[in-house]
Amino acid sequence: MKMSGAKILLECLRREGVQHVFGYPGGAVLPIYDALYDCTEIEHVLVRHEQGAAHMADGYARATGKVGVCLSTSGPGATNMVTGIATAYMDSIPMVAITGQVRTSVIGKDAFQEVDATGVTLPVTKHNFLVKRTADLPRVIAEAFYIARTGRPGPVVIDLPLDVSIDQIEWDPESYTQNVDIPSYRPNTRGHELQIKKAAQAIAEAQRPVLYVGGGCVAAGAQMELTELSERTNILTTTTLLGKGSIDETHRNSIGMLGMHGTAYANHAVNNCDLLIAVGARFDDRVTGKVDRFAPNAKIIHIDIDPAEIGKVVQPDIPIVGDVKLVLQDLLKHVKPRPWSSWNDQIMEWKRLFPLLYPDDGKLYAEYIIEKIGEATDWKAIMTTDVGQHQMWAAQYYKTRRTRQFITSGGLGTMGYGMPAAIGVQKAFPDETVVCLSGDGSFQMCTQELMTASVYGLPIIVAIINNRSLGMVRQWQHMFYSQRYSHTNLEASPDYVRLAEAYGAVGMRVAQPGEVVSVLERALAVRDRPTVIDCVIPTEENVYPFIPSGQTVEQMMIRKDLEQLKAKVHTDSEVWSFADEERVLEQYVETVEKNQ
Amino acid sequence: MATNISTAMLAQLQQRHTITALVENHPGVLARVSGLFARRGYNIESLAVSVTENPDISRMTIVVGGDHLVLEQITKQLHKLIEVIKVVDYTEQPAVDRELALIKVGAEPRHRNEIMQIVEIFRGRIIDMSDKTFIIEVTGGSEKLDKVAELLGAYGIKELVRTGIIAMARGPRTA
């Protein structure tokens, strides 16, 4: 059958199971858009800026585990997607980004809207292709999807010149195959048997083990295996920002997130453990702080699908290269049950000593809003976030029940990610509740996508944690730059309620804790359009705990009013004596001294 | 100057590795490899690329500095590039390596005999001659080429170009 490159592209996408493409047209992709005009099987979502398209495809991929697809024209269309592609790359998200390109005959001649897309995206893609002949297109698409979703997933760019889309060739759609064989690309999925036995042995021998779980566990879909491991061995589990949900955070074995803004107890646990089992995590600097003082007394097991992660930051004692799910399945064959240990009690005591708390003083706090969002949705809402203080509060307070429920830009830390990601999520799951927790800074980086959400009638809820400043930068200026708040003041901002209404969304404002529940109820009742809630919180709030960049647990800052907050909480719940507390503190100091 | 270099160079030599990467013979592969080295801050001392006995495959011989941990990362990162088929480190296996240099040296008639002697001792060849210059071709290990260049320096080197090292395992083994 004679088919144009554009038609072949859509047919191949269809055969890859693609149902949604997020994109924006332009000169170099006119033939593709013409083919889309009467394509019924693939829904194209018209965005307002190509960065939004990339974030939507990324959000879609994170929520579903499938490959997200975005499409832009050449030149500025391609460069606008770069931030989104880099975001996906840093967090290992499977994505295929298709960029238009000028005709092959004028490539390299500085043609109108020409940019070297494969060159520009080279450092931020798992792989990229410049298609020079229409006949290559089916193979390239199959390889692109295969590379994006297998091994350590990542974004792949296909740069598609105009004439390649136009040219007609004889092609049999039935010849398309997803069975790709690239001799130079064969990811190892099965862990080494001997290493797995060694790991099981180390787990059996450990006195003070901790599980440290990252995004690799999510990518592998290994929540069940991980939970089984944690339950059988009674090893308490901390996750990274991207690993959130790998174990239900209401599970008694979950000790929350670790790292710079992680829980104090997770950080103390890692600091004092004698065995650290890293599962699909990459020892990011936001997790480790000062690397040579990270888990200083621990033997390290490192399970990762990417061999290059082994030894990149720390040298593990027992490296295991393989798919996290398969490795954990094999590991579970050898791991014997362990009872709840006094070490776990120790961690629980740290948890009582340094709980996550915020004031109940009549002011509206982000933490409260996040908890109320959770309660109002039975902790089932899929939450996306932007980047900054609100993101860290969300990580601390949004009790994530499952993987793919907490969607955030971790590695690149891309402000503006949250709302387009929420659109991608809602497109994938029209019936789910999707909440984007944003900040007033982040929200303004991709505001235009509110129109996209509005046009498609997507009932996403955008809660803007509005402190009228770039809170996280302000926090650092507060602590390390003598309160010189250089250019972090956002007092001059639009009226978000009226802005929402201008975009056809519902706009609401909340400034009192007492109003939060009713506002959320009203927002959740809206099912045909987005809702923006302007949540006005105090400017001065900082995120605690806080381990400053490149430092250790010893430098961890705890909020100054924690003692009063604890006293208040414990007067009406469990009995808490200061004698207890002193004993626990002494014990902690002893343990630290003994271990170091 | 020679004495100044020696200790520093010795340390460098201990940390110098010759690795070979077999890669798909596609346009852009060189950019991927060199981009990787630049991005991750690895130091390339030399890089030689050419097609192999199989026209679909190119062979890159790369000399890099760094300890074994750095080398391990380099190898793994190279492997991650989709178009890299195989990476071999020649540091710890018997291998031959060679480099070729072309040296344009000042050759006044009164110096020609001396220069020709040097060339002969190092089994080089004079492949071009003018009233004032020779072009000398020398092959060998890098240290030999360093030495030739040093000796010819006395006569004034006008231009010098080296291919970068290429290497091959000894015996029947192939990369």
- pLDDT tens across B54-93, in order? 999 999 999 998 888 899 999 999 999 999 999 999 887 8
Q: How far is it, in rounded angstroms, from Cα A564 to Cα A33? A: 61
Q: What is the pLDDT of residue A79?
A: 98
Domain end marker among B93, B112, B139: B93
- Whether the ipTM is more than 0.90: the answer is no
Q: Residue A589 has what pLDDT?
A: 64
CA distance B97 to chain A (A): 25
Of A121, A185, A282, which to mutate for an interface test with B (greatest number of B Cβ within 10 Å)?
A185
The number of beta carbons lying within 10 Å of the beta carbon of residue A549 is: 12
Same domain membership, residue A439 and residue A330 = no
Identify the domain boundary among B61, B93, B125: B93
CB atoms < 10 A from the CB of A321, how many? 22
Confidence of residue A582 (pLDDT cuts 50, 70, 90): low
The distance of A312 to chain B (nearest Cα, Å) reads: 7
Average pLDDT value for residue range B114-118: 96
- Residue with the bigger pLDDT between B15 and A383: it is A383
The two structure tokens encoding residue A294: 């990270």
Query: What pLDDT is recorded for position A591?
Result: 63
Distance from C-alpha of B65 to C-alpha of B44, rounded to nearest angstrom: 7
Identify from A92, A129, A184, A309 which residue to disrupt to test chain B contact, counting B C-beta atoms within 10 A and taking the largest count.
A184
Mean pLDDT computed over B157-165: 96
Instruction: Decide: helix, strand or coil at residue A498.
Output: helix
Q: Is B14 in the same domain as B84? A: yes
Q: Is the pLDDT of residue A576 over 50?
A: no
How do beta strands B166-169 and B95-106 pair? antiparallel
**Residues A169 and A217 occupy one common structural domain:** no
Of B79, B80, B87, which to mutate for an interface test with A (greatest number of A Cβ within 10 Å)? B80
β-pairing, A168-170 vs B84-89, is unpaired
Is B175 within the bounds of a domain? no
Residue B1: what pLDDT? Answer: 37
In a domain, B104, yes or no: yes
Digit-coded pLDDT (tens) for A99-141:
999 999 999 999 999 999 999 999 999 999 999 999 999 999 9
Query: Do A126 and B76 count as a contact with CB atoms less than 8 A apart?
Result: no
Q: Tokens for B142?
A: 């890098």
pLDDT (mean) for B44-51: 93
Q: Tell whether A241 and A340 lie within a shared domain.
A: yes
pLDDT at res. A153: 98
In a domain, A238, yes or no: yes
Residue B28 inside a domain? The answer is yes
Q: Whole-angstrom Cα distance, residue A56 to residue A446?
A: 11
Together in a domain, A383 and A435:
yes
Q: Is the pLDDT of residue B142 over 80?
A: yes
CATH number of the domain at A239, please. 3.40.50.1220
A259 plus A141 within the same structural domain: no
pLDDT of residue B173: 86
Does residue B85 sit at the A interface (CB-CB below 8 Å)?
Answer: yes
Q: Which long-range contacts (CB under 8 A, 24 or more apart) does A491-496 make?
A: A493/A440, A493/A444, A493/A466, A493/A468, A494/A444, A496/A440, A496/A443, A496/A464, A496/A466, A496/A532, A496/A534
Residues B80 and B156 in one domain: no
Q: Is there a single domain that holds both residue B56 and residue B84?
A: yes
Residue A463: strand, helix, or coil: strand
CATH assignment at residue A379: 3.40.50.970
Residues A211 and A63 reside in one and the same domain: no
Q: Which of residues 13-42 of B touch A (CB under 8 A)?
A: 23-24, 28, 31-32, 35, 39
Q: What is the DSSP string of A108-129?
A: TTT-TT---HHHHHGGGSSEEE
**Pair B103, B51 in one domain:** no
- Clarify whether residues B89 and B104 are in a common domain: no
CA distance A141 to A145: 6
Residue B14 binned pLDDT confidence (cut-offs 50, 70, 90): low
CATH number at residue B134: 3.30.70.1150
Q: Which of A353, A381, A404 is the last residue of a domain?
A: A353
Q: Which range of residues forms the domain containing residue A84?
A: 2-175
* pLDDT band at residue B15 using 50, 70 and 90 as cut-offs: confident
Domain contains B174? no
Q: Say yes or no: B13 and B28 in one domain.
A: yes
Q: Based on the domain organization, do B13 and B68 belong to the same domain?
A: yes
Domain residues for B46?
Answer: 2-93
**pLDDT value at residue B93:** 86
The answer to whether residues B132 and B147 belong to one domain is yes
Residues of A in contact with B86 (CB under 8 A): 184
H helices within A258-381, ranges in order? 264-272, 285-288, 324-332, 342-353, 366-376
Share of chain A above pLDDT 70, in %: 95
What residues contact A540, with CB distance under 8 A and at least 6 apart? none
Strand B16-24 to B57-65 pairing: antiparallel
Residue B173 lies in a domain: no
What's the rounded Cα separation, in Å, for the pair A111 and A117?
13
The whole-number pLDDT of residue A581 equals 52
| A242 domain residue, yes or no | yes
Q: Does residue A345 sit in the same domain as residue A439?
A: no
What is the rounded distance in angstroms from the CA atom of residue A397 to the CA atom of residue A395?
6
Q: What is the pLDDT of residues A431-463, one digit of tens each?
A: 999 999 999 999 999 999 999 999 999 999 999
Q: Is residue B118 domain-resident?
A: yes
Q: Are both B75 and B158 inside the same structural domain?
A: no
Q: Please give the C-alpha separations between residue A555 and each of A270, A293, A545, A593, in angstroms, as whole numbers.
A: 15, 12, 10, 16
Residues A222 and A324 in one domain: yes
When pLDDT is cut at 50, 70 and 90, the band that residue A80 belongs to is very high
- Do A322 and A408 lie in a common domain? no
Whether A494 and A380 share a structural domain: yes
Chain A residue with CA closest to B73: the answer is A308
Question: Maximum Cα–Cα distance for chain A, whole Å?
Answer: 83
Q: How far apart are CA A422 and CA A19, in angstroms?
A: 17
pLDDT digits over A499-551, tens only?
999 999 999 999 999 999 999 999 999 999 999 999 999 999 999 999 999 99
B67 vs A: CB within 8 A: no
Do residues A274 and A206 touch, judged by C-beta distance below 8 A? yes
Total count of domains within chain A: 3
A315 and A416 in a single domain? The answer is no
Alpha-carbon distance B106 to nearest alpha carbon in chain A (angstroms): 41
Left (φ > 0), alpha (ψ -120 to 50) or beta: where does A443 sit? alpha
Q: Check whether residue A522 and residue A393 sit in a common domain.
A: yes
Instruction: Count structural domains, chain B.
Output: 2
